[in-house]
Amino acid sequence: MKRVLSRTIAHIAPRASVGGVRVLMYHAIDDPDPSDSMALRVSQQRFLEQMTVLRDEGYGVVPLRAVLDAHEENGRTRVAITFDDGYRSQEWAAALLRDFGFPATFFVVPRFLDGVTSAKTYSETWGHLGWSDAAALMDEGFDVGAHSMTHPDLKTCAGVRLDEEVSGARTLLEQRLGRSVPHFSYPYGRYDERVRMAVERAGYQLACTSRHGLNQSSGPSYTVNRTEVYGTDDRRDFVRKLQGQYDWLGYWHHLRRTS
């Protein structure tokens, strides 16, 4: 959908009710790239500005597992921060988050940690964290989650391959990193009932989608809503996203069956 139209609707959309946990979704924290048609790169300057907004506006920044206990009648919306794909530029973001004292979850892909990428997908050329970097993030107190074994569209994966991608990623990450990996993120945000069941079967506690929205219930969830932050978002867009004025996009995603 055209960004101008999105902004116009966000301007008139009501703010979401208070409470719940809003999970922010980031990819690379880096300078703009002309090939980045999906605006996956948020500049360091913008990221700093956004973390400053969270601090100055008094948002409680909580670990992702807070969505397991998101139901709250009258509280202030809490915010969790997540990163997908394990780009090397996320190390800079982690250092900044440490300064702010904010927790975060980094969803990594073993294939990328191994340094195996494809030049066909523009974002795979941006450089990724390695295994020792992922271990270092955990040592610093951040969570590392699984984002599948090789980053396919899981809806296209048949039985054994699906389990390898979902359950295999968890087993491998836990073996090599030596810690529990209870959180999952669907590549491209794509899943269906069969994929969701595979994630539950693999023993994950929760799984993140790419569908916009707030999380306001408690208990295990394999359809956690996230709020994606784009490189093109200015401060006003970011504040509106925090206030839920882009949550209508979740219905749009649902209609287009991209979630």
| Shortest reach from residue 178's CB to Zn ion, in Å | 24
| Shortest reach from residue 27's CB to Zn ion, in Å | 7
Which residue's Cβ has the minimum distance to Zn ion? 84
- Touching Zn ion, residues 71-100 (CB under 5 A): 84-85
| Shortest reach from residue 86's CB to Zn ion, in Å | 9
User: How many Å apart are CA 91 and CA 30, to the nearest integer?
Assistant: 11
Q: Nearer to Zn ion by C-beta: 85 or 237? A: 85
| Shortest reach from residue 91's CB to Zn ion, in Å | 17
| Shortest reach from residue 82's CB to Zn ion, in Å | 11
Enumerate the β-bridge partners of residue 132.
Answer: none
Q: Nearer to Zn ion by C-beta: 85 or 228? A: 85
Amino acid at 209: T
The interface mask with Zn ion, positions 171-190, x = CB under 5 A, is ----------------x---
Enumerate the β-bridge partners of residue 123.
Answer: none
- Touching Zn ion, residues 98-157 (CB under 5 A): none
Residue 247 binds Zn ion, judged by CB under 5 A = no
Check: CB of residue 208 under 8 Å from CB of residue 259. no
As given in the structure block, the two tokens for residue 50 are 């956004």
DSSP character at residue 147? -
129-136, long-range: CB < 8 A, 24+ apart: 129/86, 129/87, 129/88, 129/90, 129/91, 131/176, 131/177, 133/88, 133/91, 134/86, 134/106, 134/108, 134/173, 134/177, 135/176, 135/177, 135/178
Where does this chain bind Zn ion (CB under 5 A)? 84-85, 187
